Homo-oligomer: A and B are copies of this chain.
Amino acid sequence: MTPSDLDALLTWRRDVRHFRTDPVPETTQEALRHAMDKAPSVGNARPWRVLKVDDPSLRAQVRAEFVRCNRAAQKSYDPATAEDYAQLKLAGIDRAPLQLAVFTETAPAAGRGLGRQTMPQTLEHSTAMAVHTLWLVARVHGLGVGMMSILEAAEIERLCTVPPSWRFFSYLCIGRPDFEDDTLLLHRAGWQENAQTKWGSR
């Protein structure tokens, strides 16, 4: 792969919130599953855990939790900002055909603790990289991903009845995007312009 091929992929990876409702084919779901197998992982602990959420009543409960947290978040902005915020329509949860709840196993047997004794949070970092890997693989299959984190972790853990050692990471809405656009959603909505990454030096 050339640098410009990858650059194009990274440019077109998008946080998508508006989905078409046609289902994600099983073969594509399989590709998404295998994507995470190739993610890096500190000490190779591979701590990500994934639940596919199909149950409509569970989806409705997650949605309600998002509405509750979203409302609480809006209170801390001024009214105009809160309105922007609402307009962002962050929840693809109403339409996305494929929805995954992602967790981190905080006490994985795999990897034997290598590399995480000084920084246990590397487990969550590994999950983040695995989700990013899935995101890129979704893109080459023509799928968008919306990552939801405006949720109370403990509540999602309770709703999904996960083992006590699992820590909620994020809720992913996946499907074909309703439109293609090369302007980021948050930028179109005037939320935040990109700043370039600079390196300091020491």
A residues contacting B by CB (< 8 A) are: 1-3, 5-11, 13, 15, 31, 33-40, 42-46, 48-55, 58, 69, 72-73, 76-77, 81, 85, 90, 100-101, 110-119, 121-122, 124-133, 135-137, 140-141, 147, 149-153, 160-161, 169-170, 184, 186-187, 191-192, 194-202
Contact = CB atoms under 8 A, between A and B. Distances in A.
Q: How many copies does the complex hold?
A: 2
B112 A192 contact: yes
Contacts of A151: 118-119
A194 B34 CA distance: 12
B46 A195 contact: yes
A179 B94 CA distance: 49
A202 B149 contact: no
* Cβ-closest 5 pairs across A and B: A128-B128, A10-B38, A36-B197, A125-B128, A44-B192
Nearest to A197: B36
Contact of A5 (B1, B7, B112, B201): B1
A190 to B, nearest CB: 11
Nearest to A35: B10
Contacts of A194: 37, 44, 46
B9 A53 contact: no
Contacts of A77: 112
Given A31-B3, A124-B121, A38 B11 contact: yes
A110 to B, nearest CB: 6
Contacts of A44: 184, 186-187, 191-192, 194
